[in-house]
Structure 1
Amino acid sequence: MVPPRRQSGVCVRSVCALLTLLLSGVSVATAEEYDYYSWQSDNFHTGRSYAKQPQCVDIPADLRLCYGVGYKRMRLPNLLEHEALAEVRQQAGSWVPLLAKRCHADTQVFLCSLFAPVCLDRPIYPCRSLCEAVRDGCAPVMETYGFPWPSMLQCSKFPIDNDLCIPMQFSGGHATQMPVSKVCPPCDNELKADTILEHFCASDFVLKMKFKEVKKEKGDRKLIAAQKKKKVLKMGVLRKKELKKLVLLIKNGANCPCPQLDALSGAFLVMGRRSDQQLLITAVHKWDKSSKELKFALKYIKSHQCPSYHTVFQ
């Protein structure tokens, strides 16, 4: 089958097919009938040369960010210049937890258009408006964890809306939005063993500890640790002298609710990372002795094999 070609002044058939599958979850049948495509240069490609022609491959089941996104095949190299699936898995895995934060309904569409672009006759980039919408929704959440919006996703590098880019999804003239939790992001995590282990790997430090006091300061929530002995599960970047007078922050968390911290009695499982000179809380749970999930995680936490990369967002 001959790949669909561009048409002037109308929606390109390949782009229309892409939008249809993104909206309906239908896979592209034609993409599986041919494996190679010409890599056409454009204003948004860096001009990097590749050893292999772009090829069409199955999206592997362990590519959690994009498996099940609505199409089955992706092109390599992708639009972020990752040439091997191993590299795609490693880099894309950093963004999986962002989907759970539901900061924008089109987060997966945007990220997968770059990490696992659908196989068509030419690269199709996300529209600038799509990038800006996802950035505006998700950058504040990422900032809570001390991560800025990355330069590789700078929205100015993407095309202004036209028929040759992927736009936001619309419903009734308004961008489709998923319900956004108002709970502080570090407090909005289920006490599940797999979540604890994922966060353990992504965190710079992990402690069992008690809090003495909570304060609001410059839009942040400052937590002062109790002087009682803390159990260190992962020392990481922490220094011994910091443990004596430990002060942790929930970035931009002065006014969002954190049910776990409504009462400071008892111990907490606290995970965090260092951002500049601040120690930020990225996950906090009540230390529930009766929780089977917590017991399971603690049993395997020392032997758990963490990925060899640091997540961009947890």
Structure 2
Amino acid sequence: MTVFLLGLAVLLGASRAADTVVPAQLGPPPLGFSSSVRSVCKPMPSTLSLCHGIGYRHMRVPNLLGHDSLREAQQQSVAWLPLVSKLCHRDTKKFLCSLFAPVCLPELSGPVSPCRSLCEAVRDGCVPVMSAFGFPWPEMFNCTRFPRGTELCIPATGEQEGRTAEEVKHEEALKGSVICDACSLAAEGETDIQENFCHSPYAFKMRLGSVSTVGGDRQLVPTARSRILRWAGGGAERAEGVGGAMAHSALWLQEGGTCTCPGLDSAGTNEDQGLEEEHVEKGQAKGGKEGNGAQGGWYLALAQAEEGRLVLTRLVRWTRGDKELKKFIRALLKQPCPVL
């Protein structure tokens, strides 16, 4: 197994730290393994790069591969980063993280396994890539170990057809328990935006025209009144020609269909947002002052480009007045940011 993972990392183009540890056995204990360590929820460490942006922040330890500590899980996961980077299947990260860093659901006493169909989908997509470098699908990921969709498990993205009402209920419970990574900033949201502004290629002050779910992700379409603060690693001037066309440019909340975003979900329905926008526009046309808006309101967002899309890394709903917002924006723009 050691040779397998070292070879996989090298041949797929991974860089491996000198102290990285890889499994010494061919596979983990079977699901339902016994461990002297009680199953507990712990914050996912920032060093667990494999699961950055997965959509939740707490994981079960021991995990489904028998790793009893966060350090062990992080060390053993490093060798699989290159497979994720090969984009052999859209759910590769989701599958691997369900094993290395199982999501923690408060109402359950243990980890939730990936569905067998999720394993099979990733296996069928990635085996050709691995085989090209002379490596088989490892026994530790043997799909027969995982439950079929008739039990509570993590399904493949978009896998809804044929699912029972009870399974849908479980999925909704999962969605309600997992906060999207870009949204889990709590009261430190504004401070986090300020601290990360210069490190983000894209930044926006925006109102939302529509929010929809597409292929498991959420698509956010800003209105034309939204403002570009930072574009392609430089100032707003880099966005020449985009300006008023913001309403036609979408931002994406990855896996937003399976996680909750408090500032977004509490802002009301798309219809309410549309009515609120119309009301504000009419008020301004009559010389009235712009308000916060009870349903939509202003958002501050940071994003990065991934596979031709602008993917949100931070999303904060502004809950204070317009004067404070303008002051905050001025402070952001006064920062001497280097061009990325």
Structure with the higher fraction of residues in helix conformation:
2
Q: Same fold (TM over 0.5)?
A: no
- TM-score under structure 1 normalisation? 0.40
- TM-score under structure 2 normalisation? 0.37
Q: Which has the higher contact order (CA 8 A, sep 6+)?
A: 1
